[in-house]
Amino acid sequence: MNKEEEDAFLKILLEFSDTVDPMTLLLDLPCLSRSARKNVVNSQTGAWCGSSEKAALRLHGALAKRPEGFREIVWH
């Protein structure tokens, strides 16, 4: 992810965490590792404080770490 993409992705963090359904998106994001997917799922389904917003924040963070993460989410 280049600097412009990183800045744009960071600007939408709050909206992203409020609107996306991380569980649906996981199926269509091949750039994510197996462990990143597991962390997102556990953030949503965890018995202690699991939530969709928390999972979306994890997903945002995982995508931000991938070179092609921004392009995959934008073109999704």
Q: Report helix, strand or coil for 67.
A: coil
Query: According to the model, what pLDDT value does residue 76 have?
Result: 62
- So what's the pLDDT on residue 36? 95
Tell me: the pLDDT tens digits for 14-45? 899 889 999 998 988 999 999 999 999 999 98
65: confidence class by pLDDT, cuts 50, 70, 90: very high
- Predicted TM-score of the model (pTM): 0.85
- The residue ranges of every structural domain in the chain are 3-74
Query: From residue 58, how far is each of 13, 32, 36, 68 by CA, in Å?
Result: 11, 12, 8, 16
